[in-house]
Amino acid sequence: MECISNVYATFSPTGKAEFAIVNFYADWCHFSQSLKPIFDQASDEIQREFPTVMLAKVNCITQANVANKYHVNKYPTLKLYRDGRVLKKEYRGQRTAEAFKEFVRVQMKDDIEVVPDVEKMKLDTDRRHIIGYLESKESKTYDIFRRVANFFRSDCQFHVAFGEASVSFRHGGDTAGFRDSQSTDDIYYSNGFSPGNNYFFQWTQDKCVPLVREITFQNAEELTEEGLPFLLLFYDPNGDNKIVETFRKIVGSELYSEKDNMNFLTANGYQFSHPLVHLGKSTADLPLIAIDDFRHMYLYKDINKLSEPSSLKEFIADLHSGKLHREFHHGPDPTKPNPSDAASESSNKDSTKEVSTPPKSQFAKLSPSDQRYSLLGQRDEL
């Protein structure tokens, strides 16, 4: 299979391909020009080894609608697809033919542990796990399980027990169980494995992809590229981290509807001490909560109010409504006057309004480097 330069009005990145790397490029970008012969060579060599893998290219100037659909904001952007679904992670490795080939070899290797005895199964207590209880490896059910497992391989560890090893779990047919890092009991899947529905994919996504993630220097670039504002809990790794669990519970119970609008993150306050300085705080003030919308950082005023119903939700609503940004430029919104205090009201009219001054975003600085990409715009304040 040659490297395909996609020229279709309707972009279908994978076709029949199980896995695809799509190069979103622009001819004027010198990084794109340098990558072009390498990407073409890698495509030819990968095709011979993996016929179900496709490397494709999209010209973002002539196919701007496609670039916009996939939120391309830098050139080249190397997006990854499995079975037609785009992964959150992009290719960020070395730009050599050999590096592309090695990356594909790893991605095409099934990372599923076959379990001969479920009772003796040893699970990594730091990871989330999906265990498939299936009749046969040759079944269509296993093919569905395998494809979903490969899609979420970075989020969960997958295991499977076949035949006699799983018969006691298959009272109603093939099933799967989820086990998190804090439990020894499974949460079972019960909606079947029909090729025509996405139930197992959606169930796995809900179980494997946590609402609240930990930001590190290793994953910060990927998280910024998702383009969603950060709601950050800065915590003290040496202190009582009940606040982390409280934060997770509140996000799960009150903020689930915001999961497509906001990234909920925890951050080691010692590793990310620099943003604290810009908030006028230090590690002595931990824990702290803030929003970073890639223009400014906004501090959550009183963490002692975290458990008050809707307090955190209102903080996010103020971001969406523009209140936080508006108050940055014009000071706090006026409050309703107290009718019983006319003198105070008169005095307030003559007073100077206090202006809040949230600092500029610090996490925007962890975005992709202009030493590897042509960036299409900055998130700086206009």
Within-domain flag for 242: yes
Q: Assess whether 143 and 204 both reside in one domain.
A: yes
Q: Assess whether 92 and 9 both reside in one domain.
A: yes
Q: Assess whether 92 and 118 both reside in one domain.
A: no
CATH code for the domain in which residue 186 is found? 3.40.30.10
pLDDT per residue over 337-346, tens digit each?
Answer: 555 444 444 4
Domain that holds residue 173: 112-208
Last residue of a domain, one of 208, 243, 273: 208
Question: What is the rounded CA–CA span in Å between residue 276 and residue 280?
Answer: 6
3-class DSSP state of 43: helix
- Contact between residue 147 and residue 83 where contact means Cβ atoms under 8 Å apart: yes
Q: Assess whether 203 and 301 both reside in one domain.
A: no
Within-domain flag for 374: no
Within-domain flag for 341: no
Digit-by-digit pLDDT tens for the chain (382 residues) are: 334 544 333 345 555 689 999 999 999 999 999 999 999 999 999 999 999 999 999 999 999 999 988 888 899 999 999 988 988 889 999 999 999 999 999 999 989 999 999 999 989 988 999 999 999 999 999 999 999 999 999 999 999 999 999 999 999 899 999 998 777 788 999 899 988 789 999 999 999 988 999 999 989 988 988 878 999 999 999 988 899 999 999 999 999 999 888 999 999 999 999 999 999 999 999 999 999 988 889 999 899 999 999 999 999 999 989 888 777 666 666 655 555 444 444 444 443 444 456 677 777 777 777 888 898 764 333 3
pLDDT per residue over 12-52, tens digit each?
Answer: 555 568 999 999 999 999 999 999 999 999 999 999 999 99
> Cα dihedral angle (276, 278, 280, 286), rounded to 10 degrees?
-10
Which residue's entry shows tokens 């001819």? 27
Closest by alpha carbon to 5, among 34, 49, 31, 36? 36
Within-domain flag for 98: yes
Q: Assess whether 69 and 143 both reside in one domain.
A: no
Within-domain flag for 174: yes
**What sign has the CA pseudo-torsion 59, 62, 67, 73?**
positive
Q: Assess whether 9 and 103 both reside in one domain.
A: yes
Last residue of a domain, one of 208, 235, 264: 208
- Burial class for 218, CB neighbours closer than 10 Å (0-12, 13-18, 19+): exposed
